Amino acid sequence: MSQCFIQLLKIFLTVSSPQHQGNASFGMSVFNLGNAIMGSGILGLSYAMANTGIALFVILLVAVAIFSLYSVHLLLKTANEGGALVYEQLGYKAFGMPGKLATVYAVPILTFAFVCHPAILPMYEELKDRSRRKMQGVANVSFLAMFIMYLLAALFGYLTFNVHVEPELLHTYSKFYKFDVLLLIVRLAVLTAVTLTVPVVLFPIRTSVNQLLCASKEFSWIRHTVITVSLLVGTNALVILVPTIRDIFGFIGASAAAMLIFILPSAFYIKLVKKESMKSVQKIGATAFLLCGFLVMIGSMSLIVLDWIHNASKSEDSQANGH
């Protein structure tokens, strides 16, 4: 076990080589990617459906799934052309140190959002007999499975509580079913799922920090432990200090998810894939995808900040009336 762990560390703490032969099967890769996608975000989907309605929610969920798969397609194609299978190395090859910093700062935020894109390239590297088409197949199966799971979870949560559903679904259940054994089992299952997701997402985050701060240094267990503990402490502090999980989902979804799904993969593709001209359909599509990413990020962040300001003023007014 320790030898396998050290080998994995060597793969990620050095610049990955496209010639590295992976040994992960198709099924295992699908499971790992699904695990990377699956996170605590599933608990807020019923609340989103309550605010949009079933039809609009399904349309938005399909759109996000398609955009995410297109983003994976761009990422895999760029990895082949750019000759790098580590996320921040693509940023460095494309835009130098600013590009590397952009990915390093974006990737750690995903600890809280559990978007799968930072884990795509490490899994691609470890895929047995890998090819871009095979990895795209892994992504397609994983996204389809998670799409069905997300849709069913949101639908049944919404149909159970309708407009009374809260941003955190299990909290809503707790109000109606106190001291319920089945609810306790569900909580333990969610806790287990999120706990098992953390190592998958933490691995590329820790690698990014190592690449940024200590790329030329040898592996150190002390540094490895300090970075890991710091990331976990930061994550827990955020969860404790932020009043509602809706704020975490909204802010991270508007900022980091837009960066990882829309902006960075399309920017890498435009910069690193040289054989296609800017007038080609692929480059035009990537450019449009990039612009959509900026629009989504700016628009969503603006609306979220306005909502925070509105809620803050509303809270102050209610306190003033109370006194």
Q: 3-state SS string over 189-255? A: HHHHHHHHHHHHHHHHHHHHHHHHHHCCCCCCHHHHHHHHHHHHHHHHHHHHHCCCHHHHHHHHHHH
- Is there a domain that residue 25 lies in? yes
3-state secondary structure of 142: helix
How far apart are the C-alpha atoms of 31 and 37, rounded to whole Å? 10
pLDDT of residue 9: 37
Task: Give yes or no for a contact between 266 and 74, defined as CB atoms under 8 angstroms apart.
Answer: yes
Backbone angles phi, psi at 127, to 5 degrees: -70, 130
What is the distance between the terminal CA atoms of the chain, rounded to a whole angstrom? 63
Q: Which two tokens stand for residue 302?
A: 């603006």
Q: 202 to each of 20, 94, 226, how far by Cα in Å? A: 22, 24, 13
How far apart are the C-alpha atoms of 279 and 284, rounded to whole Å? 6
Backbone angles phi, psi at 177, to 5 degrees: -125, 80
How far apart are the C-alpha atoms of 310 and 308, rounded to whole Å? 5
The model carries a pTM of 0.68
How far apart are the C-alpha atoms of 234 and 255, rounded to whole Å? 18
- Is there a domain that residue 143 lies in? yes
Domain count, the chain: 1
- Is there a domain that residue 183 lies in? yes
Torsion over CA of 249, 251, 256 and 257, rounded to 10 degrees? 50
CB count within 10 Å of CB 321 equals: 7
pLDDT of residue 287: 92
- Is there a domain that residue 261 lies in? no
How far apart are the C-alpha atoms of 257 and 228, rounded to whole Å? 22
CB count within 10 Å of CB 83 equals: 15
Q: Provide the residue range defining the domain that includes 122.
A: 15-254
- Is there a domain that residue 240 lies in? yes
How far apart are the C-alpha atoms of 82 and 88, rounded to whole Å? 12
Q: Which two tokens stand for residue 49?
A: 């459906």
How far apart are the C-alpha atoms of 97 and 70, rounded to whole Å? 26
- Is there a domain that residue 205 lies in? yes
- Is there a domain that residue 36 lies in? yes
- Is there a domain that residue 145 lies in? yes
What one-letter code names the amino acid at 45?
L
CB count within 10 Å of CB 135 equals: 24
Low-confidence stretches of the chain (pLDDT < 70) are 1-22, 39-41, 82-118, 245-246, 249, 253, 314-323
3-state secondary structure of 127: strand
The most distant pair of C-alpha atoms in the chain lies apart, rounded to whole Å, by 70
How far apart are the C-alpha atoms of 45 and 158, rounded to whole Å? 9
Would you report the helix, strand and coil content of the chain in percent, each value rounded to 5? 85, 0, 15
